[in-house]
Structure 1
Amino acid sequence: MEEIGFQPLGRRIGVSSIKQAKPGVPSWLAFVVEFISNALPRDPAGNWEHLHIGAYETACELLVKLGCAIDNGTGAIPVAEPKLPEVTPRWDDVATLVVWVAAQSGYIGFRHFPGARSRPIAAGLAPANVRAAHGCGPGYLADEAFPAFQSLGLILGGSWTAVAETVLWRDNPKEWGLDFTSDRRFLRARDLAVATVPEGIAEKIKQHAEIREEQIVEWLELAHSAPGISRNRHDALKSLQFWSEHILDGIFETNWRLADGWLSPTESQRGLGLRFDPLAISMRMAFAERYLPKYPHLWRC
């Protein structure tokens, strides 16, 4: 990280030095590290804290992967001499994380499309400074976040870019009322996912899709071992189905991306732990309806 101008322990990054970065260093890296470093909460010692908040947990994970910090269980400790790894995390995951961190920290706010019927009165809200474009609605972005968003190619000339659209699907702002599950790109990705499931992934999916009788019996035995708790077979089935959905969501969040389909093991390792990704969850449901029709708990809302 020294070669791109990163200054550790809370000092600002010299963004201009990115021009001298050696080949292979992503142009967004210094901007993203600076934004996340400033957005994350810190403890009195100056260490980053994730507070068990998903976006912040993944932000700490990114700083560790980029050689800027050491994981300490409750966040990340800045290192004295950051060193950039040979392989950096995936751009799409980094871009998604920046959106999530901005939303969590109050640096971004989404606004309704002009003319929307359910559009509320925007009293007290900062006016939009990012124009609607490419299927994305208007939004407000704080000055502190602009460099990171621009470096990632999400904003250009005060408008969302084309590549921002599918990144923002992974945040799915309720103000925009998006339905990307009917988009041809989503449907094409679903068909490809069904047709090309790797053998190892297919085994995991089928293992966790089926709710077996012995699982129900084990669940009930465990529930009844606690005094004062009464549970029945229906309770067991609902609980096991919930965890089945949760595990399959994790498979998609780790091993699948819209643009690339099923990831290779190497690409999966480059990914970030973005849990409860609306796009991955929607793809799990669409995939399961085709691939696992006899397990409706995986595809019915």
Structure 2
Amino acid sequence: MDDVGFQPLGRRISVGSSRKQANAAVPGWVPFVVEFISNALPRNQAGNWEHLHIGAYEISCELLVKLGCAIDNGTGAIPVAEPNLPDVIPRWDDVATLVIWVAAQSGYIGFRLFPGARSSPSAPLAPANIRAAHGCGPAYLADEAFPAIQSLGLILGGRWTEAAETVLWRDDPPEWGLDFKSDRRFLRACDLAVATVPKDIAEKIKQHAEIREEQIVEWLELAHSAPGISRNRDDALKSLRFWSEHILDGIFETHWRLADGWLSPSESQRGLRLRFDPLAISMRMAFAERYLPKYPHLWRS
């Protein structure tokens, strides 16, 4: 990592052992992100990373595996002795979002209210060291997270960059009160999503949007097979609609991105599925209102 100017933050993380790994095809953010995530993830006594079934940490372990730095062990990831970067690097936008999520989960970032907000926090907070810019509000960022977030191009000169704005839509800090659903970029992306649904995606959407009678019957039979449990048709519909929403959210989380629309199969493979992504869920709802108007459970909530 000396070949790409990597300065470690304490414990050294070496990604790859040959110059083959430090080439122009490897984005400069890779070593900084690996170092940050490696240090942020909880570890067990054996020195393995543990995700603790926390979403941001689960995806972090997945990223370390995809970057050739670890082996999945079901409860987290085991560091490998000789990391070896793959030929295909995960998508920048997904990695950038994940780093924000991990920083928030680990307490390395704290979002602050926009200047002039009517309410203020009751407890004293560390002052913001990232100023509001490009639709993003102020924030406090701990030293441990600065190299990774800066290497991803999200901050410059103590301000959020233009590239950071839509990444932060995928975190949607409540302190900022963002309204990206009325932004022209979101609306244009919805137009494109409706107009260009790939055939295989359209089939998946239709399959999981429609709740069929046989599904209701099967659900009730399963519910009634458990002693002491009484369920009716409304219970079945509520449960099936919930799973319908969840599955369609997964389609958008896996196969759609704001900047690119519907992803090709190869781009979907490069992606990280960030579950409960506020941007993907909002797009699913906006899309469904136009594309699936007869299924209001998918766009009313």
Q: By the TM > 0.5 criterion, same fold?
A: yes
| Structure 2 unpaired stretches of 5+ | none
Secondary structure of the 2:78 match is strand
Identity %: 86
Task: Tell me if 1:24 matches 2:31.
Answer: no
Task: Tell me if 1:168 matches 2:161.
Answer: no
Compared CA separation, residues 6 and 142, structure 1 to 2 (3 A): closer
RMSD of aligned Cα (Å): 2.1
Task: Compute the displacement of 1:11 (Å).
Answer: 3.4
Deviations 1:121-148 (A, max 9, x none): 4x32111100000000000000000000
Task: Tell me if 1:150 matches 2:170.
Answer: no
Aligned to 1:224: 224
Task: Compute the displacement of 1:120 (Å).
Answer: 2.9
* Rounded Cα–Cα distance in structure 2 between residues aligned with 1:5 and 1:70: 26
Aligned to 2:95: 94
Task: Compute the displacement of 1:298 (Å).
Answer: 0.1
Task: Compute the displacement of 1:4 (Å).
Answer: 5.1
| Structure 1 unpaired stretches of 5+ | none
Aligned to 1:67: 68
Aligned to 1:37: 38
**TM-score (norm. length: structure 1):** 0.95
- What is the identity, as a one-letter code, of the residue corresponding to 2:116? G
Secondary structure of the 1:242 match is helix
Task: Tell me if 1:58 matches 2:63.
Answer: no
How does 1:78-117 map onto structure 2 within 5 Å? 78-117=79-118
**TM-score (norm. length: structure 2):** 0.95
How does 1:1-301 map onto structure 2 within 5 Å? 11-13=11-13, 21-121=22-122, 123-301=123-301
- What is the identity, as a one-letter code, of the residue corresponding to 2:204? K
- What is the identity, as a one-letter code, of the residue corresponding to 2:258? L
Task: Compute the displacement of 1:239 (Å).
Answer: 0.3
8 Å Cα contact 2:56-2:105 kept in structure 1: yes
Task: Compute the displacement of 1:6 (Å).
Answer: 8.1
8 Å Cα contact 2:14-2:83 kept in structure 1: no
8 Å Cα contact 1:286-1:299 kept in structure 2: yes
Q: How many residues align?
A: 297
* Rounded Cα–Cα distance in structure 2 between residues aligned with 1:60 and 1:160: 27
* Rounded Cα–Cα distance in structure 2 between residues aligned with 1:260 and 1:119: 38
* Rounded Cα–Cα distance in structure 2 between residues aligned with 1:222 and 1:7: 57
Task: Compute the displacement of 1:240 (Å).
Answer: 0.2
